[in-house]
Amino acid sequence: MEVNPGPQTGPQKSNRNTIIIAVVAVLLCCCLIVVGIGGYYGYKAYVAAKQTVEDIQNLDIPTDIPFVPLDPNGTPVVPGFDTSGEVPSGGLADEQTRYIAWASVQVIGIISGCTTPTVDGTTITVIQEPDASGVWREEWNVNCGDGSYKPFPLTFTPENGTVNVSVDYQP
């Protein structure tokens, strides 16, 4: 005997396809929103960078302002470095340390009005012998190249195998 379970209304319909389509549509919308937001901020960054480049290109840098100091008579004085490679002799420093000291003295000398320091006639006098840590002081009486001389006190400080040089000049 056959049992009839009841009237059949047809095959069961599944909502699975509808759910898959809805999920794909939502994901697609989210991706489009993310791409849109990224594009918006990327474009803003591009515009800002472009504006910065234009501002830099349009920057007016003055090039017509020469640095020419004047002497008391009002005539231009062009400072000069002694580039002969010679260094004053004397003192306690070795040749290399005196070379570094001479370069420092020239810079400080030019700034302080000794416009063309030269080795000829420059003398070095030790004013303090090395102490327990090896520090010593010298006075360099520099020929300014115009018939005048300026004294520059220097401190030599041995440190880690080298000697640091500092010019103690106070205008």
Statement: residue 150 has pLDDT above 70? yes
Band the pLDDT of 171: cuts 50, 70, 90: low
Residues 127, 137 contacting (CB under 8 angstroms): yes
Hunting for tokens 């319909």 — which residue is that?
Answer: 13
Strands ordered across the beta sheet of 118-128:
118-128, 136-143, 149-159, 162-167
d(CA 21, CA 140): 91
**C-beta neighbour count of 43 within 10 angstroms:** 10
Report the mean per-residue pLDDT for the chain.
Answer: 84
Can you list the alpha helix ranges (DSSP code H) found in 58-167?
Answer: 95-111
Output the pLDDT for position 125: 95
Statement: residue 21 has pLDDT above 60? yes
- Between 12-26, 30-44, 50-64, 73-87, the lowest mean confidence (pLDDT) is in 73-87
Band the pLDDT of 60: cuts 50, 70, 90: confident
Output the pLDDT for position 33: 94
User: What CA–CA distances, in Å, run from 48 to 34, 36, 39?
Assistant: 21, 18, 14
Statement: residue 6 has pLDDT above 60? no
Residues 137, 84 contacting (CB under 8 angstroms): no
Task: Report the share of the chain in percent with pLDDT over 90.
Answer: 51
Band the pLDDT of 153: cuts 50, 70, 90: very high
pLDDT digits (tens, 9 = 90+) for 61-108: 666 655 555 555 655 555 567 777 789 999 999 999 999 999 999 988
pLDDT digits (tens, 9 = 90+) for 115-130: 889 999 999 999 999 9
Output the pLDDT for position 76: 53
